[in-house]
Amino acid sequence: MAENQEGASSEGKPAADMYPKKILEYMEGFLISKTVFSSCELGVFDVLLAAERPLSAEEISQAIGASLDGTERLLAACAGLQLLNTHRDNGQVCYSNTEQASVYLTRSSPVSLYQSIQYSSRTIYLCWHYLTDAVREGRNQYEKAFGVSSNDLFQALYSLSVILFPLKNQLVGFIRRQWVCEGETERQQRVWAVMSDEEMVKFMQLMNSIWNICGKDVVTAFDLSPFKIICDLGGCSGALAKQCTSAYPECTVTIFDLPKVVCTSREHFVTEANKRITFHEGDFFKDPLPEADLYILARILHDWTDARCIELLTRVRRCVAGGGVAPRGRLRPGDGAALLPEHAGADGGEREDSCSVRCPADYRRIHGTQHRLTGKIYDAVLGHKET
């Protein structure tokens, strides 16, 4: 006889003392997210970092311009989540950042997740309100969440920069007009062109932050030392390129991206000290790709339809000289399981006709590919071109 489910009687009825711990945790999980989002948005962690000493709730409330009662409740929640330390001074409770809060939740930290948290709070969180509709309809919910019609991922993504940063109000109308008459990459270039330098930097910081945390694990999942010339397609801020040159001292990396992305990356992210990192401006669907032994596609393939992915990978295969292709992305476990949040599609990251988040078995069916799980939110797949 099979073992009973936890807390169930032999007749299959729930036991009297059964407690749905996991279900209750899942029900209230969003409360934790919003506590982190609001604390970052109000600048709680920044205030404590600048103070260089524990502060009382009254001092913090004054610094962030919030009510004392609301601040006390928020600080208590952060302390319960182990994001803040508590100290008692003459009967008064004071607060300071934990080490992780100072490193990842303050705006000034070089590995800050602040911009990613802002994006999660102001865009992803609102889209997930419509998850039921996303499942029923099989498409993203940007239009219901923000009133932005999204014919493709990039329309929604860049239009939502208005909400995220925000951009000037008149930009929304400009962007909407462009989707009607232009192709996918032309749309991207138009939007990049009208974004201010400050907006560009913020957006690229968002893209940059995750690779600062897990990029090393991704580029070392396989031994890439045989590949001396690497091209990072859509390499954006160069975070992954820096991880490659750090892990493999004999390699050089060319970042291939749109002109304004390259300009911003040169000015704000990749310095002259990064001598083994170069740039190549272009559109990877149209322009010739630089010669390389290895091409990296990091957070690229999930943005496009299957047809466009095949087109891009075919272009790469024609260019690579017996080396390999390294798509980087999140792998889901086998047996039909999925990892949230990327799999549900409420935020538009997965269109109904786009490349899905693959499981290892999917890649094993593609001849000449290997996969590695890193234990973090991004894994690695390496494909070799047959000679």
CA pair distance 337, 349, nearest whole angstrom:
18
CA pair distance 313, 295, nearest whole angstrom:
10
Note whether 301 and 269 are within 8 A (CB): no
CA pair distance 235, 254, nearest whole angstrom:
8
CA pair distance 71, 43, nearest whole angstrom:
12
Q: Residue 69, Cβ neighbours under 10 Å: how many?
A: 10
Smallest CA-to-CA distance from 131 within 305, 280, 347 is with 347
Smallest CA-to-CA distance from 84 within 94, 72, 96 is with 96
Q: Which two tokens stand for residue 362?
A: 């999917």
Q: Residue 254, Cβ neighbours under 10 Å: how many?
A: 21
The percent helix, strand, coil of the chain (3-state, each to 5) is: 45, 15, 40
The set of catalytic residues is 302
